[in-house]
Amino acid sequence: MSSVRTTYIRLKSMLPEGVRDALSAINQRLFARRTLLRKYGSWFDVDWRKNFQNMSQQEWKRAYDEAWKHRNNDCVEETDAELILKALAEKGTVLEVGAGIGTLAIRLAQEGFTVTGVDVSAEALRRAAEAARREGVIVDWREGFAETLPFADKSFDYITCCHTLEHVKDLASVVAEFKRIALKRIVVLMPKQKFRLYAENYHTQFFESPDQLADAFGLSRYDCREIDCIDHKNEFQGKAFLYIGELGN
Ligand SMILES: C[S@@+](CC[C@H](N)C(=O)[O-])C[C@H]1O[C@@H](n2cnc3c(N)ncnc32)[C@H](O)[C@@H]1O
């Protein structure tokens, strides 16, 4: 990402919240839908946030496969990977949910974790498997939905989920699955965001404060903090939350 654009985003983030909201409301009402149609063309479902509740699993997979055919970068940055690695502490088994093209899963495998990467998109996993082969690491790649994970209770020490919780259809089911499967910790990185009807992504879940995320998981021992991702060179620029939930006694 160019430094001009980073500067623009940073300057915008310094505006009072009310001004930012007003500008965004004008953009949403007058330009956003048309701009997205012009930029992405027919493969992108500009009305995703109106439609996603009625989508079947097949339609969901197809949409993400199509998205991954048109995208070349993931969202996770080296700095995110470092934060997540720190949150995992001891080595063990990791289920990386919403693994995408595999960057975090591969990084964790390189650090000595035993990693399974799950994603709805076969296209993403095909690219992830190629990248793992290139890097010479072994990751068990599985197609699946975060809402119905095909794994036994307490079968992984850690669950990591980076820039994906904001994409799921049914947040309550995903949270229940994470708590069922993780033995030690759940680590989630996701954007701090207000709902906007039109945007360049298929986001469905919106969190504006760390408390909302902590409440969604309902674990008594956790850490949730805001982190600044504005300088990210990849897709995501903004603020994010890093949530670390502790399981067990
Ligand atoms: C923005 S990408 C993030 C990928 C990667 N974790 C990263 O940080 O770059 C979101 C990923 O979630 C996947 N996804 C969407 N809905 C999902 C669901 N219900 N269950 C599992 N994965 C899902 C998509 O295919 C996509 O790979």
Q: What residue spans of 111-207 are helical by DSSP H?
A: 122-135, 171-181
217: its two tokens: 């998981």
CA of 166 from ligand 1 middle (Å) equals 9
Residue 68's CATH number = 3.40.50.150
Mean of the per-residue pLDDT values for the chain?
93
Ligand 1, atom 11: closest residue by C-alpha: 98
108 Cβ inside 6 Å of ligand 1 = no
Q: 149 in ligand 1 pocket by Cβ < 6 Å?
A: no
**Where do we find the tokens 């502490």?**
89
In this structure, of 4-8, 137-141, 153-157, the range with the lowest mean pLDDT score is 4-8
Tell me how far the alpha carbon of residue 15 lies from the centroid of ligand 1, in angstroms. 31
Does 116 score more than 90 pLDDT?
yes
Q: Looking at the predicted structure, is the pLDDT value of residue 72 above 50? A: yes
Ligand 1 midpoint to CA 56 (Å): 16
pLDDT score recorded for residue 233: 67
Q: What is the pTM assigned to this prediction?
A: 0.94
Mean pLDDT of 225-236: 77
Do 100 and 123 meet the contact criterion of CB atoms below 8 Å apart? Answer: no
Q: How far is the CA of 126 from the centre of ligand 1 (A)?
A: 14
> Which range of residues forms the domain containing residue 23?
1-249
- Inform me whether the pLDDT recorded for 158 exceeds 70: yes
Contact between 213 and 224 (Cβ < 8 Å): yes
- What is the distance, to the nearest Å, from the Cα of residue 205 to the centroid of all Cα atoms in its chain? 10
pLDDT band at 235 (very low <50, low <70, confident <90, very high): low
pLDDT of 42 above 60: yes
Atom 1 of ligand 1: nearest residue by CA position: 163
Residue 147 zone, left/alpha/beta (φ > 0; ψ -120 to 50; rest): alpha
**C-alpha distances in angstroms, 24 versus 30, 124, 238?**
10, 31, 15
Query: How many folded domains does the chain comprise?
Result: 1
Q: In terms of residues, how long is the chain?
A: 249
Please report the pLDDT score of residue 80 as a whole number: 84
Average pLDDT over residues 198-220: 96
DSSP summary character for residue 29: I
Neighbouring CB atoms inside 10 A of 62's CB total: 15
Pocket flag, ligand 1, residue 120 (CB < 6 Å): yes
pLDDT of residue 249: 66
* Model confidence at 159: pLDDT above 50: yes
Mean pLDDT of 40-69: 96
Query: Is the Cβ atom of 113 under 6 angstroms away from ligand 1?
Result: no
81 lines ligand 1 (CB under 6 A): no
Predicted confidence at residue 1, as pLDDT, reads 47
- For ligand 1, pick from 164, 171, 190, 234 the residue to mutate: most ligand atoms within 8 Å of CB: 164
